[in-house]
Structure 1
Amino acid sequence: MVDGAGRQFQTGRLLIFMRWVAPVLYAVLAAAGVFLLAVVTKQPRHDRDWYPHLSRLPHVELQDGVFSIAPYGNWTYTEDAPEEMIWSGVPPHRISDVRRVWFVMEPHPGLAVMAHTFVMFEFGEGDLVGLTIEARKETRETYSAMGGAFNKFELMYYWASPRDLMTRRAVMMDRDLFMYPLQLSQAEAEAYLTSLLEKTASIERRPRFYNTLTSNCTNELAKAADLPWHPAFILTGGADRALYGQGRISGEGGFEAVHAKAEVDACVRENAFRPEAAFNAALIACAE
């Protein structure tokens, strides 16, 4: 039973709460509401001041099973910076000529649960076409997983030569790289390439936001391949192990042996300044 003094004490505490704490809570809730409103009403755009290597949106021509892409990144990198900032194009290729699809992992240094992933399509001797799916950053922006969950970045499908994609990471950024051949039938490889080309064309017509959870580099690739969902498509550092478990990466001796054999960053550094076709041939030889 609460006596009069107790009731007065409780009433005093309530008044203190209403006077000092409640306004702070209201302000926090109001700020959160304004932030969420800004997130849901923000519109993705193509016309921002982008990082140079993400500045040119690829255009895909796709008709009767033949595709071409331009512009196509074909940059080269030294340990310090880009050396040659070349934009070229992928000449007409028949989708039915795709021979193999390669999956590449770039583990995040110091954060084992995260990695960047991308793919390369092999058509013939020294003929590789690469694709990385990126959070399209503006100049002076840095990547943030939290920001990426709240419409901080647009989504970009960046098609580029393997030398561009691999030397940027292994030479300039000094990152580890692991390259695996995916176990896909011919029909699956063709459908996968077609899906990614169509998604690229769709983004050119209608910009989209990158999302750390639902539209990141790995789960965009997984959705295009119609793979069953796996937590590693969000915690992307386990993507290669997940694909091994699903039978999309194979090899003898268990995953650790396959993983060790797939490391190619030293090979990339050794061949970084060779002509493009020679670089591609050396890269495949290292990964096989």
Structure 2
Amino acid sequence: MNWERQKASYLPLRLVTGFVVLMLTVWGALALWHQVVQPAARMVTLVLWTTSGLSVVVALTGLPSRKAHTLTAVTFASAVAIMTAWWSTLKPSHDRLWADEVSQLLEARVEGNHVLLKNVRNFEWRSETDYTPRWESRTYDLARLRSADLVLSYWMGPNIAHTLVSFGFDDGERIVFSLEIRKERHESYTAVGGFFRQFEQVLVAADERDIVHTRSNVRGEDVYLYRLQMSQEKVRSLFLKYLDAANELRRTPRFYNTLTSNCTTIVFELARLIAPALPIDYRLLLSGHFAEYVYDLHGLTLGYRYGELQTRGHINERALASDASDADFSVSIRQGVPGIPASEANP
């Protein structure tokens, strides 16, 4: 069988191979774009990489010469080997010039029911760039831990939301946990960069006046709050899992990944340690629908349709009013939220 007849007989395989090579070329180009900072070096590496990949695609679809096919294949294989070796050198670090709001790592110490948290964030935000930084040490009594609330903040349409969990104590104290990108001072968030090891991750523990208020009142994001239906034993377990995660992250830096290691997946992973049967669901990726996923698992206040819980859990109007009246922010935003006792939602 001659070369031309061989090419024709392997057409489906060549098409599949060409598609795989094209996707790999796109992935590598995006990785180089987000990781190579120096403009000239970025341009050179992008040209070399894309040229090697596209030459294989062209060879598979059109070049008649077996020698040309072999040459392009060897060239691209060499480029893939170099890319793989370079990618393996990218390591997460705690030693960078971090943005102020993620500059400190949470440290947790637990002795019986006594919890000491170091580096709790309690910034006073006037705008996204105008703020008074405060990092505090706080103590909590686990015997007084009573509740957990799911908070979703929508910043990019109805399908994507930032996921936070707020824990409440019977003395009115609250603490919110949020897995976030740990950006450097010169960086700004990009969801695409989160696929390509551009950011480390950080677990922030913060006051609601800081981390919820800045989203609803400063950034103007749509924020929803839901009471989670959990026994006190499971609330305590989830709280402690967050502390374990914070200490582990303090010991070992990790990259943030937009798809597999983000603000929603950590809630699912920690909850699954408590209830291993939790099912995988597309709403773990489309985080804007995460509350509906929890509702379907009977994890939100029972006796209400999901739409009603969502409507009554929208806190923005109450959050803005609390600024005008100087009311207690945490109390104000819970007014009318199903499942929350009157003692928590009355000023």
TM over 0.5: yes
**Equivalent position of 2:172 in the other structure:** 126
CA distance in 2, matches of 1:128, 1:237: 24
Asked whether 1:223 is paired with 2:266, we answer no
> Deviation string for 1:150-181 (max 9, x for gaps)?
32211211011001011211122110000001
| Match among 309, 321, 336 for residue 270 of structure 1 | 321
Correspondent of 2:288 among 237, 240, 255: 237
Change (3 A) 1:166 1:94: same
1:59 has 2:98 as partner: no
Q: How many residues align?
A: 277
| SS in structure 1 at match of 2:179 | strand
1:255 and 2:306 are equivalent in the alignment = yes
Q: Which amino acid aligns with 1:231?
A: Y
CA contact (8 A) 2:122 2:133 kept: yes
Assess, with a 3 A threshold, how the Cα gap between structure 1 residues 59 and 14 changes in structure 2: closer, same or farther: same
Partner of 2:250: 204
Q: Which one-letter code corresponds to 1:123 in the other structure? A: F
Check the 8 A contact 2:164/2:177 in 1, yes or no: yes
CA RMSD of aligned residues (A): 2.7
TM-score under structure 1 length normalisation: 0.85
Select the residue among 149, 152, 155 that pairs with 1:108: 155
Larger mean CA deviation between 56-65 and 180-189 belongs to 56-65
The question of whether the paired residues in 2 share the 8 Å contact of 1:81 and 1:172 is answered with no
Identity of counterpart residues, as a percentage?
A: 24
Structure 1 residue 286 displacement after superposition: 4.9
CA distance in 1, matches of 2:137, 2:224: 26
The CA deviation at 1:26 is 5.6
The question of 1:75 aligning with 2:126 is answered no
Distance in 1 between the 2:283 and 2:84 partners?
27
Structure 1 residues 42 and 181 mapped into 2: Cα distance closer, same or farther (>3 Å)? same
| Pair 1:39–1:95, CA change in 2 (3 A) | farther
Equivalent position of 2:217 in the other structure: 171
Of stretches 277-286 and 227-236 in structure 1, the one that deviates more from structure 2 is 277-286
Amino acid at match of 1:52: D
1:248 is paired with a residue whose SS is coil
SS in 2 for 1:139: coil
Counterpart in the other structure of 2:231: 185
What are the Cα deviations for residues 91-129 of structure 1, in whole angstroms up to 9, with x where unaligned? Answer: x2122321100100012333x321110011000253111
- The alpha carbon displacement at 1:87 in A equals 1.7
Secondary structure in 2 matching 1:177: strand
Bigger relative CO (Cα 8 Å, ≥ 6 apart): 1
Supply the distance in 1 between the matched residues of 2:129 and 2:218 (Cα, whole angstroms): 6
Asked whether the 8 Å contact 1:74–1:88 carries over to 2, the reply is yes
| Structure 2 unpaired stretches of 5+ | 9-61, 341-347
The whole-number CA distance in structure 2 between the counterparts of 1:161 and 1:273 is 19
Shift of 1:88: 1.7
